[in-house]
Chain A
Amino acid sequence: MSKISLRGLRHSYLDNPANDADWALKSMDLDWRDGGAYALLGPSGCGKTTLLNIISGLVVPSEGQVLFGDQDVTKMPTDQRNIAQVFQFPVVYDTMTVYDNLAFPLRNRGFAEDDIDVRVRETAQTLDLEKTLFNRASGLTADSKQKISLGRGLIRPDVNAILFDEPLTVIDPHLKWVLRSKLKEIHRQVGSTMIYVTHDQTEALTFADKVVVIHDGTVVQIGTPIELFEKPKHTFVGHFIGSPGMNLLPCELNNGVPLFAGQVVETENGIHSPQECQNLEIGVRPEFVSLSESGIPVKVVNVSDTGPHRIVDTRHGDVRIKLLITEDESIPADNVHITFDPAHTQIYADGWLVSEASK
């Protein structure tokens, strides 16, 4: 049990990475607090799994260090790191019974048979595997097998961290929800560090205390679900998290005041130096756009009903702006105008949030 730190980490699967695109992970400095529940969120192929494999030692990074506490483990083999990892697809030792599968990690580390028996039964109970405990693992269904994989990850009491690589992909939606709450519960009980890789925002936001969003091999934001929602540091975060994602509007600058469609837009942050004036965009979530008497004129293109609220798809010129309204709010037939909530409207330069610090 210790803090896991990544220092100046870079990784490429090529021998001689020539340009930026050759790096699967680009320069990463991260600290994982001991006992934290983290989610690594990002689209497929953004480097999440690579990062996880570096922490568990299956991949040795091209550059940089991995520290467990104060110990440098960058080159230490996986079996000595004391890490548990659960993969996306079920991995069971077909030749063993369910019981032996679960007991395997403990036996390898020399636990006494009595303790093993207690742990195995406990874990089997949490994961609802008791009925098949003495069956051979090879004949089971995919989701039972994945539960065994999960169990093998959770069974050791002394791990530095438990890494989950999209562990619930093969499990049907209802059970997924149950298992996710189980994981959360186990985390509260044992308090070991958990890192959960996923590309599903609901999964990330419900599981984690802190979400690390990765895009193109770079960490774009680390924050609580609320922070990610209310204050995305990068347009990618705004777009990726939330359904529908954040509206991004091209914007011009007039004497330091952002303009969209010829109207002044009040934003929560501001532009303060001329260098920041590249590719300016205004970001505002559909939740913070509202219909009003005056403001930016738009044309309603489509309204889709999602149950609790409706998503209104509007256009101003070529720019699409989505907004959420409640069931009982009515949409005027013509002369539709919208306004943005200034407290939740941000301005982005080259994709990144224009920072508060420069104020």
Chain B
Amino acid sequence: MKRFTWAAPTFYIIFLMLPIYWLLNMSFKTTNEILGSFTLWPNEFTLENYIAIFTDPTWYNGYFNSLTYVGINTVISVTVALPAAYAFSRFRFLGDKHLFFWLLTNRMAPAAVFALPFFQFYSAVNLFDTHIAVALAHCLFNIPLAVWILEGFMSGIPKELDETAYVDGYSFPHFFVKIFIPTILAGIGVAAFFCFMFSWVELLLAKTLTSVAAKPIAAVMTRTASTSGYELGLLAAAGSLTIIPGAFVIYFVRNYIAKGFALGRV
């Protein structure tokens, strides 16, 4: 029995890695090979697909656009959520619990519900097809999430820390920036990570609210065929590249995510 304990994790990992392997595998093949035969590894190994992406502005601008609005969104969400979460964790006010719960209801509706109002509104105020438009639209989902995550981390810090800092001669703004934010840095990391993830993978709003100037990579990828026919190799290469930023970000917060789960807020 003991000899086979390696089997379960091995199969599990193979299972998890298979789609990713297949994506990478395809990205190094020509479209003809993908469509023409079933091969477990690229027979005609090619970097053409990647070269195409890095030289064609419609492709690489997709990445820039996505990263831009995701970045803006993450910064706005965390900046706004920090004071809000502080208020929820430290003060008691009329209806605080209801308000806190109500924040979550914003996440209960699918993004599609908000696509039409956002589209109409942004068209009216000339925000359509800008990065900030998508960033603000995603805030609707990300700020409540960030408030929830941060509130959990902040409530884990005793109120006496605030009081000690006042006693030690710090005013509130000073304390908040110099002591409090460094103390909950892990929480901020986790909150930022989740904002990033949501905004990075969200397609519907991002696609609806942009046309050319701010078109995200995911929207570019929905273009499966071009003048030269199906370009599956190119799409696979684009997909492989899209995984990278997420993997990169998760690497930095990997240790804190577990803490977030322990607080029951992720």
Binding site for B on A (CB under 8 A): 53, 56-58, 77-79, 83-85, 87-89, 91, 93-95, 104-105, 108-109, 149, 152
Question: If A79-B170, A105-B168, A109-B169 touch, does A85 touch B183 (CB 8 Å cutoff)?
Answer: no
A357 to chain B, nearest CB (A): 41
The residue of chain B having its C-beta at the shortest distance from the C-beta of A109 within the complex is B169
Besides A53-B163, A56-B167, A91-B158, 13 other CB < 8 A contacts?
A57-B166, A58-B163, A58-B167, A77-B171, A79-B167, A79-B168, A79-B170, A91-B163, A93-B161, A93-B179, A95-B182, A105-B168, A108-B168
Binding site for A on B (CB under 8 A): 158, 160-161, 163-164, 166-171, 179, 182-183, 185
The residue of chain A having its C-beta at the shortest distance from the C-beta of B166 within the complex is A78
Q: Is B169 touching A105 in the complex (CB atoms < 8 A)?
A: yes
The answer for the CA separation of A94 and B183 in the assembled complex, in Å, is 7
Chain A contacts of B183 at CB under 8 A?
93-95
Q: Is B168 touching A152 in the complex (CB atoms < 8 A)?
A: yes
22 A-B pairs (CB sep. < 8 Å):
A53-B163, A56-B167, A58-B166, A58-B167, A78-B167, A79-B166, A79-B168, A79-B169, A79-B171, A83-B167, A87-B158, A89-B158, A91-B158, A91-B163, A93-B161, A94-B183, A95-B182, A95-B183, A95-B185, A108-B168, A108-B170, A152-B168
A-B interface, 7 closest residue pairs, ranked by CB to CB distance from nearest: A108-B169, A78-B166, A105-B168, A87-B160, A95-B182, A85-B167, A91-B164
B163 to chain A, nearest CB (A): 5
Total number of A-B contacts with CB less than 8 angstroms?
A: 54
Q: Is A87 touching B169 in the complex (CB atoms < 8 A)?
A: no
Question: If A91-B160, A95-B182 touch, does A104 touch B171 (CB 8 Å cutoff)?
Answer: no
B245 to chain A, nearest CB (A): 28
Chain A contacts of B168 at CB under 8 A?
79, 104-105, 108, 152
A157 to chain B, nearest CB (A): 14
A177 to chain B, nearest CB (A): 24
Q: Is B169 touching A149 in the complex (CB atoms < 8 A)?
A: no
The answer for the CA separation of A93 and B169 in the assembled complex, in Å, is 14
Q: Is A78 touching B182 in the complex (CB atoms < 8 A)?
A: no
Chain A contacts of B163 at CB under 8 A?
53, 56, 58, 78, 85, 87, 91
A350 to chain B, nearest CB (A): 37
The residue of chain B having its C-beta at the shortest distance from the C-beta of A163 within the complex is B167
The residue of chain B having its C-beta at the shortest distance from the C-beta of A152 within the complex is B168
Chain A contacts of B182 at CB under 8 A?
95
